């Protein structure tokens, strides 16, 4: 199963989707729910737009990251090449979008599950593991795609991201 999923994910040149992100944090009384859109284009462009409750944008183009907070009038560009640790974190977080099995195996210990189909990625890098203990990927078939991602932090905080209205290389994929 794992090889087939990576092959299909690796063929996708462009991905667009809407998302709902639910953050469970110890400092929050209630979960923080946000919605937005995401677009990924090979080789390394990620455009993450939060629409509600507070608009923001994270754009990664190669080694340049831009963070925008329109309500605050703030926009910041960072050359990740000049900040090696931030670059390592950004590239490690994108590894599942790129679907490069060699990079995944190099950077993470991967545990696959069959039913429901999914994988748990645990960082091999100690610095990354200090802020992110695991990434759980949940897949849907026909065509294979990531339906949701769970990010777990060593503190116990968690973020669940569910994707819908997925478009792969210009073709809309039915929601389950």
Residue 47 lies in a domain: yes
Is residue 66's pLDDT more than 80?
yes
What is the pLDDT confidence band of residue 87, given thresholds at 50, 70 and 90? confident
Is residue 49's pLDDT more than 80?
yes
Domain of 21: which CATH number?
2.50.20.10
Is residue 6's pLDDT more than 90?
no
Residue 27 lies in a domain: yes
What is the pLDDT confidence band of residue 3, given thresholds at 50, 70 and 90? confident
Residue 176 lies in a domain: no
Residue 173 lies in a domain: no
Entry pTM:
0.91
Residue 43 lies in a domain: yes
The C-alpha atoms of residue 15 and residue 8 are separated, in whole angstroms, by 13
Report the pLDDT value the prediction gives residue 4, as an integer from 0 to 100.
Answer: 79
Report the pLDDT value the prediction gives residue 119, as an integer from 0 to 100.
Answer: 93
Comparing 36-50, 62-76, 78-92, which segment has the lowest mean pLDDT?
A: 78-92
Mean pLDDT across the chain: 91
Q: What range does the domain containing 131 cover?
A: 2-164
173 token code pair: 């994929």
The C-alpha atoms of residue 165 and residue 174 are separated, in whole angstroms, by 7
In degrees, rounded to 5, the angle at the alpha carbon of residue 52 between the alpha carbons of residues 27 and 98 is 85
Residue 170 lies in a domain: no
**Exposure letters 52-90 (e unless 16+ CB within 10 A, then b):** eeeebbbbbeebebeebeeeeeeeeebebeeeeeebebb
Report the pLDDT value the prediction gives residue 79, as an integer from 0 to 100.
Answer: 92
Percent of the chain with pLDDT over 90: 67
Q: Per the structure, how many domains does the chain have?
A: 1
Report the pLDDT value the prediction gives residue 2, as an integer from 0 to 100.
Answer: 66
Is residue 75's pLDDT more than 70?
yes
Residue 15 lies in a domain: yes
- Cβ contacts of 144 within 8 Å, gap of 6 or more: 4, 5, 8, 9
Residue 123 lies in a domain: yes
Q: What does each C-alpha distance from 87 to 15, 19, 91, 109, 145 come to in angstroms?
A: 22, 24, 6, 20, 25
């Amino acid at each position: 199963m794992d090889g087939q999923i990576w092959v299909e994910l690796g063929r996708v040149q462009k991905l667009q989707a809407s998302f709902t992100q639910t953050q469970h944090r110890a400092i929050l009384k209630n979960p923080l729910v946000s919605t937005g859109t995401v677009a990924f284009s090979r080789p390394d462009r990620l455009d993450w737009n939060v629409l509600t409750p507070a608009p923001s944008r994270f754009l990664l183009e190669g080694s340049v990251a831009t963070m925008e907070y329109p309500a605050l009038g703030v926009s910041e560009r960072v050359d990740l090449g000049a900040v090696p640790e931030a670059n390592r974190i950004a590239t490690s977080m994108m590894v599942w979008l790129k679907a490069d099995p060699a990079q995944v195996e190099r950077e993470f210990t991967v545990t696959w599950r069959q039913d429901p189909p999914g994988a748990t990625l645990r960082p091999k890098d100690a610095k990354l593991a200090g802020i992110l203990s695991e990434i759980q990927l949940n897949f849907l078939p026909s065509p294979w795609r990531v339906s949701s991602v769970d990010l777990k932090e060593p503190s116990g905080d968690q973020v669940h991201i569910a994707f819908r209205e997925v478009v792969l290389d210009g073709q809309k994929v039915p929601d389950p």
